[in-house]
Structure 1
């Protein structure tokens, strides 16, 4: 199988229950009557999601945070986490970071599994379980023509943080700059505030343009974005890179333009009837790779 998209498409034939949402969403959602159980699982690989030699304290934090970001996009409150840990260097640092993230972000550790490995890239995994009373539980689908396209904050901060960490190392002088990459913040309270209002919502993990295309595909619409309106945390001459880099974990959402938003956000475009392309940037189709995909076919 050649790429991530083809593999996920094959998985859809297996995941046939309503909770799976056709594997077109950030989470599985299991209806339990008055409440819905929301579940997600993300993995991280050394050399892909964190730099070799990076402090495992920060890696553990990021592992928890990126999974809780998926819960945030459902307006869910964390209940617990299950950790899959590969033993290796600085396990004590990983445990310290896991405890800090669990306590700070309100995600108690419920269990998990540990394995050893013999060479190769170290892999970590985490399952986050949450709950919500809001109905319907928002998804990537649901964006309607005429809706405003909004984002909670700037993109590109993780890109700059990664480069500073890679080039200068983890020093006291650059920890503020590297924080968006090392320790992203899941926008849980923002997600809960937006859940009753957003017609579609997801977190930005693989690049704004790629994730916008996923939302457009799930909703059967075209998202027309205004390049200059998109806030970035990078130099202006790197705007195009910032729109594609990912790892920012802002919330991308669509909402009726008449709605008064309960949180600060930036309007960056409008939803159109579905045209030839899923995403337009200043009225033109996106050229080049829109974001990060594992084993993308060429």
Structure 2
């Protein structure tokens, strides 16, 4: 099967059709139309076997995570996803793998109302590069910068689950509770991009970022770009029962919650005067959120408290995920 037959059989015509796509898969490039008074937001992520997913991960799980991590970036900007471009490198043409992979791509495109409009396929190590694009009104863009002294710090969902799930798959963490084990592994394999939360936070949050490399590392990005300090109350961190009840200590649960990557929850800051609006909006959609600290005026300073006492993590665990 050549490249063009592969694209035609597994990807062309299977994606959700959008009216703003003038020309999609099948030509040298796609042609799309950006809605009036909207900004185009673009993000790209590459996932490589044995780096971002373990060898033997199912095609459906790979497809799911590839799309989810990109949509999470758009969510952090307050953008509504619209278009995807996929570059797929694989060692050989495996029809069963491609069927499972492309079926999940089609399912997610339908669920999020996005269209796969182009890409490339090549022979090589199994890896995937996805570019996702979406729209956000210019006056409503969320950025990492913008946090101010006194703003409250929130996160969606729970923290640390994905890191624990990865350790389970690697054999580094043993959990006897089958239901908890499956929950944590699924949180690693299939993170939920908080697209709805991102759009809800427009005009409310002062800063926002998605948690891909660990809470401490990612909150530092907000601190650095906003020229502020950060105070985190570790006893307030939302830790799922599956994690909290199945690791051997509170310290281990906090280590997962603060430093492990791949949670893809949103971390955002909210001024005091916007707290009620934020709570009303997120509550109306049953979006889980937790206040975990406050922005301070001590630029570049990170303070960690546990039950109102200073808490120190080891220098090795404070860094979070490192790409190099």
TM range (shorter): 0.7 to 0.9
Q: 2:185 maps to what in 1?
A: 178
Q: TM-score, normalised by structure 2?
A: 0.74
Q: 2:202 maps to what in 1?
A: 195
**Which of the two has higher C-alpha Rg?**
2
| Cα distance in 1 between the residues matched to 2:210 and 2:103 | 26
| Cα distance in 2 between the residues matched to 1:85 and 1:274 | 45
Please, which runs of 5 or more residues in structure 1 have no aligned partner? 1-30
Q: TM-score, normalised by structure 1?
A: 0.80
Q: Any conservation in 2 of the 1:72–1:186 contact (CA below 8 Å)?
A: yes
1:217 maps onto 2:224 in alignment: yes
1:165 maps onto 2:169 in alignment: yes
1:45 paired residue among 31, 48, 53? 48
| Cα distance in 1 between the residues matched to 2:81 and 2:149 | 32
Deviation, structure 1 residue 284: 6.0
1:249 paired residue among 264, 268, 284? 264
Please, which runs of 5 or more residues in structure 2 have no aligned partner? 1-33, 245-249, 283-287
RMSD: 2.2
Deviation, structure 1 residue 278: 3.8
1:291 maps onto 2:314 in alignment: no
**Could you say if the C-alpha distance between residues 136 and 105 of structure 1 is closer, same or farther in structure 2, counting changes exceeding 3 Å?**
closer
Deviation, structure 1 residue 55: 0.2
Task: Tell me which moved more, 102-111 or 56-65.
Answer: 102-111
Deviation, structure 1 residue 286: 5.8
1:132 paired residue among 125, 128, 136? 136
1:281 paired residue among 304, 309, 318? 304
**Could you say if the C-alpha distance between residues 287 and 216 of structure 1 is closer, same or farther in structure 2, counting changes exceeding 3 Å?**
farther
| Cα distance in 2 between the residues matched to 1:139 and 1:100 | 29
1:272 maps onto 2:296 in alignment: yes
Secondary structure, aligned partner of 1:135: helix
Deviation, structure 1 residue 216: 0.6
